[in-house]
């Protein structure tokens, strides 16, 4: 059948006719099932989605080669079968509006993967639509979902699959069925510090320009709080020079992870049957920015009730060195806040304090989030081994260095030893702290 169809298409001066086209059409249609799928033969009861695509393509060939017009009622019945076939379409991966057809029937035949099955259905539907008059009722969101599937699977591993992928995309743009218009974002990560703009593009599956349309941001909400709407009902501006729909981020969008919900609307309502734009499209958006360390303080706490005995503020934007002293009965408290570009408190999942000795020994502490700030309290230990009973004064010329890292904030701690006599073997009490700040980082 396909060979005769190709001969007629490539050699229009040659008449290729099917004598009993109506009977052939009926024989093929008899293998259809109530769910829109087809059987391969009359003695095989199993239904196949892949076979449905083959059957639709064969019926298109019969109609094209028929010497007389096929009964329109039979054609309309097949159109209804096509609509039913989309009830078996499946969602692909995340709930982003991507759909595909899969093959459930084995029947001793070679297994057909989802790409081959989806391609077979697209080929069959577009072939049937090309030779029949009138509209085939197809769900626009499912047609758009198929286009997203072929665009999103990457480069197939075989030449056959690659051909099926490219052919399916070309058929979806052939205007035999509503042409899918794909909304996409050149980037999903934006920086508030760089004053990035939200950018959206709408094209056909092969990259052709879309007809005049409007892109609307229906709503935007925090990824972990669906009911906290931060943007609602905002129309993006179309930039003719770049072909992009753009929008600046309002002040209530700060550093974090969001979900933006878009929808498109054609300017010419009469062309809605010519294009498949689908419904609302959910896109994850990651907003970054330079987060500053603010209100950093170091305090020495008393040994009893933890009251502040010494407290100093760290100017992380400056170059001043902060020094303080503590004995082994006291504690050291370090606290700070993280501030977003819009001046709001930033709460990462975790903040870490890393102490690093000059011997490269490291220890990492989790910094507690009190709700208003990050805070950690460290104990000061003293362990001394005596080799002589004679007390010697503190030798401040001997010292060890420990560098510490708090997320992206670097500092320097100096530990000074206590020596008894001429020989020392000890773990050192915390005597002073020097802080050399580097206070900004991108998250």
pLDDT tens profile 8-45: 555 556 566 677 888 899 999 999 999 999 998 888 88
Average confidence (pLDDT) over 393-421: 33
pLDDT band with cut points at 50, 70 and 90 for residue 437: very low
Higher pLDDT pick, 110 / 36: 36
Higher pLDDT pick, 344 / 260: 260
Spell out the residues 6+ positions from residue 112 whose beta carbon is closer than 8 angstroms to its own.
50, 103, 120
DSSP-derived 3-state class of residue 187: coil
pLDDT band with cut points at 50, 70 and 90 for residue 330: confident
Instruction: Please report the pLDDT score of residue 302 as a whole number.
Output: 76
CATH number for 182-288: choose from 3.40.50.620, 3.40.50.300, 3.30.930.10, 2.60.40.1080.
2.60.40.1080
Looking at the DSSP bridge assignments, the partners of residue 378 are 332
Is the pLDDT reported for residue 205 higher than 60? yes
- Judged by average pLDDT, the poorest of 267-271, 363-367, 378-382, 398-402 is 398-402
Looking at residue 50, the DSSP 8-state letter turns out to be: H
Average pLDDT over the chain, rounded to whole? Answer: 79
Count of helix runs (H) and strand runs (E) in the chain: 7, 24
| CB-count burial class (<10 Å; 0-12, 13-18, 19+) for 8 | middle
Evaluate whether 124 touches 55 at the Cβ level (below 8 Å).
Answer: yes
Backbone angles phi, psi at 16, to 5 degrees: -110, 115
pLDDT band with cut points at 50, 70 and 90 for residue 428: very low
Looking at the DSSP bridge assignments, the partners of residue 401 are 414
Per-domain residue ranges for the chain? Answer: 2-177, 182-288, 291-442
Average confidence (pLDDT) over 73-81: 93
Is the pLDDT reported for residue 413 higher than 60? no
pLDDT tens profile 270-305: 888 899 998 899 999 999 998 888 888 888 887 655
Instruction: Please report the pLDDT score of residue 106 as a whole number.
Output: 55
pTM, rounded to two decimals: 0.73
Query: Which one of 40-49, 50-59, 130-139, 297-306 scores highest in mean pLDDT?
Result: 50-59
pLDDT tens profile 188-201: 999 999 999 999 99
Instruction: Please report the pLDDT score of residue 383 as a whole number.
Output: 43
Q: Which helix (H) or strand (E) holds 123?
A: helix 114-131
Evaluate whether 359 touches 402 at the Cβ level (below 8 Å).
Answer: no
Instruction: Please report the pLDDT score of residue 293 as a whole number.
Output: 85
Question: At CA 429, angle to CA 425 and CA 431, rounded to 5?
Answer: 125
Place of tokens 């809605």: 272
Query: Which one of 125-134, 357-366, 429-438 scores highest in mean pLDDT?
Result: 125-134
């Amino acid at each position: 059948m396909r060979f005769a169809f190709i001969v007629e298409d490539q050699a229009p001066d040659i008449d290729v006719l099917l004598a009993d086209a109506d009977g052939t059409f009926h024989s093929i249609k008899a293998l259809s099932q109530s769910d829109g799928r087809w059987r391969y033969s009359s003695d095989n009861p199993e239904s196949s989605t892949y076979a449905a695509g083959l059957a639709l393509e064969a019926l298109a060939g019969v109609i094209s080669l028929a010497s007389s017009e096929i009964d329109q009622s039979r054609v309309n019945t097949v159109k209804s079968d096509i609509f039913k076939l989309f009830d078996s379409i499946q969602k692909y991966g995340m709930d982003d509006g991507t759909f595909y057809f899969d093959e459930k029937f084995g029947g001793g035949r070679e297994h057909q993967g989802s790409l081959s099955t989806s391609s077979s259905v697209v080929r069959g539907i577009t072939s049937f639509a090309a030779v029949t008059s009138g509209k085939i009722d197809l769900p626009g969101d499912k047609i758009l979902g198929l286009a997203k599937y072929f665009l999103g699977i990457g480069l197939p591993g075989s030449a056959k699959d690659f051909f099926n992928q490219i052919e399916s995309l070309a058929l979806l743009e052939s205007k035999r069925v509503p042409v899918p218009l794909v909304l996409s974002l050149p980037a999903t990560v934006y920086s508030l510090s760089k004053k990035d703009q939200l950018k959206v593009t709408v094209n056909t599956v092969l990259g052709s320009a879309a007809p005049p349309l409007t892109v609307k941001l229906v709503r935007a909400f925090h990824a972990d709080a669906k009911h906290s709407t931060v943007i609602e009902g905002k129309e993006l501006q179309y930039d003719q020079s770049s072909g992009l729909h753009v929008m600046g981020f309002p002040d209530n969008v700060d550093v974090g992870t969001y979900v933006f919900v878009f929808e498109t609307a054609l300017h010419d309502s009469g062309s809605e049957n010519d294009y498949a734009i689908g419904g609302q499209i959910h896109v994850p958006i990651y907003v970054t920015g330079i987060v500053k360390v603010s209100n950093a303080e170091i305090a020495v706490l008393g040994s009893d009730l933890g009251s502040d005995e010494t407290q100093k503020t760290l100017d992380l934007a400056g170059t001043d060195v902060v020094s303080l002293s503590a004995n082994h009965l006291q504690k050291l408290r370090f606290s700070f806040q993280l501030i977003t570009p819009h001046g709001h408190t930033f709460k990462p999942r975790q903040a870490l304090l890393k102490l690093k000795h000059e011997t490269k020994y490291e220890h990492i502490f989790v910094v507690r989030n009190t709700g208003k700030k990050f805070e950690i309290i460290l104990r000061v230990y003293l362990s001394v081994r005596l080799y002589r009973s004679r007390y010697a004064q503190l030798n401040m010329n001997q010292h060890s260095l420990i560098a510490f890292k708090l997320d992206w904030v670097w500092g320097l701690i100096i530990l000074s030893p206590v020596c008894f006599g001429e020989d020392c073997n000890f773990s050192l009490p915390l005597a002073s702290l020097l802080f050399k700040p580097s206070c900004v980082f991108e998250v």
